[in-house]
Chain A
Amino acid sequence: MRVGLTTSVIGHTLLLAWGLVSLPSAKPFDVQAQVDALPVDLIPLSDVTRISEGKKTAPKKETASTGKAKPPTPRPESQKIGNARTDQDAPVTEKTTDTAAAPTRQAAAPTPPPPPPAPERPKAPEKAPTPPAPPEPAPAPEPEPVKTEAPKEAPKPTAEVAELPAEPEKQVETPPAPTPAVAPKSKPKPPAPVQTAALDPKPAPPSKETKRSEEVKPVDTKAPPKEEKTETFNPDDINALLNKVDPSGGGSQASTEEASLGSEKATGPVADMSQSEIDALRSAVAACWNYPAGADGAENLVVRLRIEFTPDGDVAGTPAILEQPAGPLGTVAAEGAVRAVLRCAPYTFLPPEKYEVWQVVNFRFNPAEMF
């Protein structure tokens, strides 16, 4: 026994020692990354994908237009500039730098600039009086005088100091001087906007203007910028310039389908009857329908009715038979269907909030499907 006990004690001691040494403490699970809880909302996609805008004048259609909405392709190199409502063709920053650089290139001909101001001034007043009438577009016309001034001054500094980065500042400083000169002639025109336009030539003026200013510079020497103005902007034509194009498309605003019949005010997801509601209506009617079972070919007696409902689920008037099988049996079946619809009324389970959908229902009585 002693041998056994000794052996056992030694064995257990060795086992425990081995366990202590070689059995490592449990390794922590290798967690890849701590995952934060994500709030998940289930959103019916149809709210987004099936937005339609109806048009009251559109011809009646049975179905909502199924045209897919095509997102308008952006014009190349367009971007939103300043407060402009629509995208502009050209990126602003580059052009402005160009305009800033342009005068320096033209520095070779410093003399031409002076003449333009002279013709400019008289023209500016001509245009100036008109803007006050439409209050909003006022900012738009102002840039023009600015441009005419800008090129005028820009060349000068270049003549004095070749290619100084301080040019824009000088532009900023100088405008005040000319504006007083202008002021007496065109008093109605507020000088402040002129200054602001001059102060920040880069961001404020839409790219059209910058473009124009580009065009103006080469023109400066040759032709008076007056033509440009008439082309570019006439406050009298604002009304004509406004976008009067009606929204076209039926399925959605940008689709090419013609507008379908619907409410113009209610723009939103197309309400559909859910399958369960359709089934509920179908089973309710089927329960009341005594169709001539047993007659020859009874399962082919397909009847289509046009049922109008009142908002409380009752049947308005008598359902109209759109389609009935040929023969006397068909008439019996169709009349039975009409009676069934009337007998089961009211259908209170129809959701009132979707009344627009089930106000008129084209119901198809097919014995093969309903029983």
Chain B
Amino acid sequence: MNPAELTQAALAAPAPDMTLIGLFLQAHLVVKLVMLGLLGASVWCWAIIVDKVVLFSRMTKSMDRFEKIFWSGQSLEDLYRSLLNRQNHGLSAVFVAAMREWKRSHEAGRTSFLGLTDRIEKVIDVTIAREMERFEGRLLVLATVGSAGPFIGLFGTVWGIMTSFQAIAASKNTNLAVVAPGIAEALFATAIGLAAAIPAVLAYNKFTADAAKLGARMEGFADEFSAILSRQIDDRS
């Protein structure tokens, strides 16, 4: 078969469907599964990202507001009463937890302040840990997708190229027009993998840093507040 005929035949062949749907439908089952999985991962990642963005922004705002109120000289009793019936997060949660422990120690009528400081600090630590868990929860998903996504996509690509090479071997035609569609659709898997992984990695890094910042802020507030409480305890004892 002379080259001219080959090119003619290749030109005469219908152009392969190169739209997104076409690429997906032509792919091998394994590649399809990889693509679907990566698409799901991407959806989940973005859900987490949106969630975290909303959470962190809301958290920062609420912390700012709480600190403003806290240092405004308002009575801590009033503040505690106004916050008690609300769902509290962040600094207010720390404050409420510490105040609750303080109140309980007083309501029981016990005047022994022995061990109260330890209890309050423990409560504060637990609260901070719970809050931190809320901040960092699901960030691991982002990390996993970010690191594994390219590999999964690469697996789909390798599989697709493998099958397309098998097809080439079967058709005994190495014309580029025959080879190209299979490789294109195989590379599509890697593209999806990267598309899922890149935002995940970026978001993971940013959210980890944000969570650490919020945690430090909470730690600082907890220290200050426990210092105030221990001063009170020392005064009363």
Contacts and interface: CB of A to CB of B under 8 A. Distances in A.
B49 interface: yes
A368 interface: no
Interface in B13-42: 15, 17-22, 39, 42
A7 B47 contact: yes
Given A3-B51, A36-B4, A8 B19 contact: no
Interface residues of B, number: 24
B54 interface: yes
Contact of B46 (A1, A12, A20, A37): A12
A273 B15 CA distance: 58
Contacts of A4: 46-52, 54
Nearest to A27: B18
Contacts of A20: 19-21
A25 B18 contact: yes
B32 to A, nearest CB: 15
A28 B7 contact: no
Contacts of A36: 4
Name, among A16, A19, A26, A37, the residue most crowded by chain B CB atoms within 10 Å (CB to CB): A26
Nearest to B55: A4
Contacts of A9: 43, 47
A12 B43 contact: yes
Interface string A20-42: 10011110100000101100000
A218 interface: no
Given A19-B20, A36-B4, A12 B48 contact: no
Contacts of B47: 1, 4-9
A25 B14 CA distance: 13
Nearest to A24: B19
B206 to A, nearest CB: 15
B221 interface: no
A16 B54 contact: no
A280 B7 CA distance: 49
A11 interface: yes
B43 A28 contact: no
A19 B22 CA distance: 12
Contact of B17 (A6, A8, A19, A25): A25
Contacts of B49: 4, 8
Contact of A23 (B20, B39, B44): B20
B3 interface: yes
Interface in B41-71: 42-52, 54
Nearest to A25: B18
Given A3-B51, A12-B39, A26 B4 contact: no
Contacts of B15: 25, 28
A16 B47 CA distance: 16
Given A1-B51, A36-B4, A37-B3, A7 B17 contact: no
A25 B54 contact: no
Given A1-B51, A20-B20, A23-B19, A11 B4 contact: no
Nearest to B22: A25
Nearest to B23: A25
A25 B44 contact: no
6 tightest A-B CB contacts, nearest first: A4-B51, A8-B46, A8-B47, A4-B50, A5-B47, A25-B18
Given A8-B47, A9-B43, 20 more contacts: A1-B47, A3-B50, A3-B51, A4-B52, A5-B43, A5-B47, A7-B47, A7-B50, A8-B44, A8-B45, A8-B50, A9-B47, A11-B46, A12-B43, A20-B21, A23-B20, A25-B17, A25-B18, A28-B15, A37-B3
14 contacts: A1-B47, A1-B51, A4-B50, A7-B46, A9-B43, A9-B47, A16-B20, A23-B20, A24-B19, A25-B15, A25-B18, A25-B22, A26-B18, A28-B15
Interface of B: 3-4, 7, 15, 17-22, 39, 42-52, 54, 184
